């Protein structure tokens, strides 16, 4: 029996300068600081206590947080992972820091750190963005992985995620009505490729596009629309080689949907023909390892 | 009162008919309906044609409106002559070229060449554009005005237009439920300021934006969204400096009694709520 994932909960980014990364994330996305603890800065984007954590790269790698229904699921996950030869550990100290009742940490075969959490905190007072960015919440996370097939197998076989579409080898994985919550992209090194936030409408996304342009910044991809998910998107550089995306619209997955294979070409990533500066979305281009930032993305 | 039913067609002079035709098909995405050595007519929707390029002065622009009944042409002619406009009766040959049963021509107070046409022809077979631009039809025209107050009075009192909104002093005028079919922009010349075609979706606008850029054609405004009509838009350059617009999602005004026009600022924010800035002479102070 698979261990059901309830929710994509948070992303922890390993940064060279967390302070600066947090300031930029707040400015760019309208997120709001929730709390700071042990050198980590947690930012809120919706009813969840936080969805983005900016931490020092020296103190740990980037990770994603996923919620499970009950404590027993964590135990089952630990056993199932052990069978596959993946070591998982209950980390009480990290659970306290993440404000959850229990936490099981492990790394996927590709080298992505995962934090399975139980009873993460929900806030009673509504989220009030730091600027009118239109952000409504954490939508999805795109990940780089050097072992795509093994990671895909782990997520689908053990955690019950389903492949919603493929672009070349890249896989879009979902566990609820959203087209996808996790996307795996082949890369030379493991890590977070993009943290994606939903915004109210395409209007907010286009306003961001012109705002960036006014600031002399350039988008890394888009504005565009994904033929796979139907999402309108705008991606722009975030901290340490990670991108932020604003997402609007997109189709819901129904019982009749089945995964489709799209060719590995630019038109599979954008139906509007937008410019793209993200290496992972440039099929055919030889994937070079990311520049070795201090400790970032290393085991 | 001259009851305008809808915009009908636009006629533009050109010194390079082949280049104009190539632009209208490969860039704009229209379908060639008819061509002679002197003119090329293009379809954008169910109508036989909505845009004609003819060999002539590139500054010669004509905008035509459809009227419902033959008598309205005579009534309009009488009204216009009483007001001092010289009215030209369309010849049978010219009517045949325009694919209409009858028409008259006159100049509006600024000097824009306007035609009123009766029974314009519907195209045979469905419209199929030269490229997948998503065009659903010719929809409105921006007109240059040397005195917008005077011209607004002409279009709203001599004709049946109503003000839907104003951007600064520039009125957006409707003659049916669509937010605007005519827009008047302050200028020092007469002529058509821009020509609008509706496209099916915002996707068509964004796709065309990248395609047009790749062709090295100047995008002069957008992609953006008009706060007035809520339409998503893209303005880009055509032959002889003409500005073409694609838009999608223009709102309709169905309650003539309760609708009240609004005043928007004459500046980038009055023209676009996404933050695009126009590089169009008539849209800038």
pLDDT in tens, B86-112: 999 999 999 999 999 999 999 999 999
A273 contact residues in B (CB cutoff 8 A): 207, 210-211, 214
Task: Out of A83, A118, A153, pick the residue that ends a domain.
Answer: A118
The answer to whether residues A156 and A277 belong to one domain is yes
Q: Please give the Cα distance from B172 to B237 (Å, whole number).
A: 21
Across residues B144-151, what is the average pLDDT?
Answer: 98
User: What pLDDT score was predicted for residue A109?
Assistant: 96
In a domain, A289, yes or no: no
The answer to whether residues A165 and A266 belong to one domain is yes
The answer to whether residues A104 and A241 belong to one domain is no
pLDDT tens across A172-181, in order? 999 999 999 9
Largest alpha-carbon pair distance within chain B?
Answer: 52
The answer to whether residues A44 and A171 belong to one domain is no
The answer to whether residues A143 and A274 belong to one domain is yes
The answer to whether residues A270 and A141 belong to one domain is yes
Chain A: nearest CA to B274, how far in angstroms?
A: 4
The answer to whether residues A157 and A275 belong to one domain is yes
Q: Does residue A288 have a pLDDT over 70? A: no
The answer to whether residues A143 and A266 belong to one domain is yes
The answer to whether residues A81 and A144 belong to one domain is no
Residue percentage of chain B with pLDDT more than 70: 100
Q: What is the CATH number of the domain that holds A144?
A: 3.10.180.10
Q: What residue has token string 């290393």? A: A298
In a domain, A145, yes or no: yes
Average pLDDT of chain A to the nearest whole number: 94
Across residues B66-92, what is the average pLDDT?
Answer: 98
The answer to whether residues A72 and A186 belong to one domain is no
User: What pLDDT score was predicted for residue A2?
Assistant: 79
Parallel, antiparallel or unpaired: strands B6-14 and B31-35: unpaired
Q: What is the span of the domain harbouring residue A94? A: 7-118
The answer to whether residues A29 and A60 belong to one domain is yes
B275/A210 touch (CB, cutoff 8 Å), yes or no: yes
User: What pLDDT score was predicted for residue A283?
Assistant: 67
In a domain, A295, yes or no: no
Chain A: residue nearest B224 by CA?
A206
> Would you state the structure tokens that stand for residue A153, as one six-digit string?
């197998």
Name every residue whose Cβ is closer than 8 Å to that of residue A266 and which is 6 or more positions away in sequence: A273, A276, A281, A282, A283
Q: How confident is the model at residue A286 (pLDDT cuts 50, 70, 90)?
A: very low
In a domain, A127, yes or no: no
Across residues A203-229, what is the average pLDDT?
Answer: 97
Q: What residue has token string 């379908």? A: B31
Residue percentage of chain A with pLDDT more than 90: 93
Q: Where would I find the beta strands (DSSP E) of chain B?
A: 6-14, 31-35, 39-43, 51-55, 61-67, 88-89, 102-107, 113-118, 135-145, 162-167, 170-174, 182-186, 192-199, 219-225, 232-237, 243-248, 262-264
Residue A271 near chain B (CB below 8 Å): yes
- What CA dihedral angle connects A227, A231, A233 and A237, to 10 degrees? -90
In a domain, A68, yes or no: yes
Give the end-to-end CA distance of chain B in Å, rounded to a whole number: 33
Quote the number of domains for chain A.
2
Q: Where would I find the beta strands (DSSP E) of chain A?
A: 5-15, 32-37, 40-44, 52-56, 63-68, 88-90, 102-107, 113-118, 135-145, 162-167, 170-174, 182-186, 191-199, 221-225, 231-237, 243-249, 260-262
Across residues B232-248, what is the average pLDDT?
Answer: 98
Q: What is the ipTM of this complex?
A: 0.88
Across residues B168-193, what is the average pLDDT?
Answer: 98
Sort B133 into a burial class: Cβ within 10 Å, 0-12 / 13-18 / 19+: buried
Q: Which of B202, B210, B211 sits opposite A202 (nearest CB)?
A: B202
Average pLDDT of chain B to the nearest whole number: 97
In a domain, A287, yes or no: no
Across residues B161-188, what is the average pLDDT?
Answer: 98
Q: Does residue A298 have a pLDDT over 90? A: no
In a domain, A51, yes or no: yes
Q: Does residue A294 have a pLDDT over 50? A: no
Task: Out of A118, A147, A175, pick the residue that ends a domain.
Answer: A118
Q: How confident is the model at residue A1 (pLDDT cuts 50, 70, 90)?
A: low
User: What pLDDT score was predicted for residue B187?
Assistant: 97
The answer to whether residues A178 and A51 belong to one domain is no
A214 contact residues in B (CB cutoff 8 A): 275
pTM, entire model = 0.91
One DSSP character per residue, A71-94 reads HHHHHHHHHHHHHTT--EEE-HHH
Task: Out of A118, A143, A174, pick the residue that ends a domain.
Answer: A118
Is residue A34 classed as helix, strand or coil in its secondary structure?
A: strand
Across residues B219-236, what is the average pLDDT?
Answer: 98
Q: Please give the Cα distance from A61 to A295 (Å, whole number).
A: 8
Q: What residue has token string 């007519």? A: B41
In a domain, A1, yes or no: no
CA-wise closest residue to A128 among A203, A58, A43: A43
Residue A209 near chain B (CB below 8 Å): yes
């Amino acid at each position: 029996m698979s261990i059901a994932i309830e929710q994509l909960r948070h992303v922890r980014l390993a940064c060279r300068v967390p302070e600066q990364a947090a300031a930029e994330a707040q400015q760019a996305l309208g997120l709001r600081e929730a709390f700071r603890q042990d050198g980590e800065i947690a930012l809120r984007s919706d009813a969840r206590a936080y969805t983005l954590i900016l931490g020092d790269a020296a103190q740990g790698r980037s990770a994603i947080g996923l919620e499970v229904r009950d404590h027993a699921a964590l135990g089952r996950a630990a056993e199932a992972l052990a069978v596959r030869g993946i070591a998982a550990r209950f980390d009480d100290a990290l659970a306290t820091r993440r404000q959850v009742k229990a936490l099981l940490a492990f790394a996927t075969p590709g080298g992505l750190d995962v934090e399975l959490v139980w009873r993460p905190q929900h806030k009673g007072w509504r989220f009030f963005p730091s600027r009118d960015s239109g952000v409504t919440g954490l939508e999805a996370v795109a990940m780089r992985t050097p072992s795509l097939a093994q990671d895909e197998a782990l997520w689908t076989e053990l955690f019950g995620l389903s492949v919603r579409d493929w672009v070349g080898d890249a896989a879009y994985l979902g566990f609820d009505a959203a087209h996808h919550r996790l996307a795996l992209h082949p890369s030379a090194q493991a890590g977070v490729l993009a943290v994606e936030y939903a915004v109210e409408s395409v209007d907010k996304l286009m306003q961001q596009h012109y705002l960036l342009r006014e600031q002399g910044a350039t988008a890394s991809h888009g504005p565009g629309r994904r033929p796979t998910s139907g999402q309108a998107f705008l991606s722009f550089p975030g901290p340490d080689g990670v991108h932020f995306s604003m997402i609007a619209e997109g189709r819901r997955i129904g019982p009749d949907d089945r995964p489709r294979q799209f060719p590995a070409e630019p038109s599979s990533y954008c139906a509007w023909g937008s410019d793209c500066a993200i290496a992972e979305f440039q099929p055919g281009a030889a994937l070079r390892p990311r520049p070795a930032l201090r400790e970032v993305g290393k085991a | 009162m001259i009851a305008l039913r809808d915009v009908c067609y636009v006629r533009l002079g050109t010194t390079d008919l082949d280049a104009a035709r190539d632009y209208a098909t490969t860039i704009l995405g229209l379908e060639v309906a008819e061509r002679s050595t002197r003119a090329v007519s293009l379809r954008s929707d169910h109508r036989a044609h909505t845009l004609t390029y003819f060999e002539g002065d590139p500054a010669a622009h004509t905008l035509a409106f459809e009227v419902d009944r033959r008598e309205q042409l005579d009534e309009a002619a009488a009204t216009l002559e009483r007001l001092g406009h010289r009215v030209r009766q369309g010849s049978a040959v010219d009517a045949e070229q325009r694919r209409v049963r009858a028409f008259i021509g006159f100049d509006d107070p600024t000097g824009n060449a306007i035609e009123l046409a009766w029974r314009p022809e519907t195209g045979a077979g469905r419209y199929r554009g030269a490229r997948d631009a998503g065009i659903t039809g010719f929809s409105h025209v921006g007109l240059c005005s040397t005195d917008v107050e005077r011209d607004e009075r002409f279009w709203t009192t001599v004709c049946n237009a109503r003000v839907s909104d104003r951007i600064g002093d520039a009125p957006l005028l409707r003659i049916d439920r669509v937010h605007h079919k005519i827009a008047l922009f302050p200028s020092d010349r007469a002529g058509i300021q821009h020509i609008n075609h509706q496209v099916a979706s915002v996707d068509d606008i964004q796709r065309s934006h990248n395609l047009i850029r790749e062709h090295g054609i100047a995008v002069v405004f957008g992609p953006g969204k008009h706060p007035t009509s809520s339409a998503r838009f893209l303005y880009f350059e055509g032959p002889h400096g003409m500005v073409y617009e694609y838009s999608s999602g223009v709102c309709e005004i169905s309650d003539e009694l309760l609708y009240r026009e609004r005043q928007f600022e004459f500046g980038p924010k009055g023209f676009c709520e996404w933050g695009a800035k126009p590089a169009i002479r008539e849209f800038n102070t």
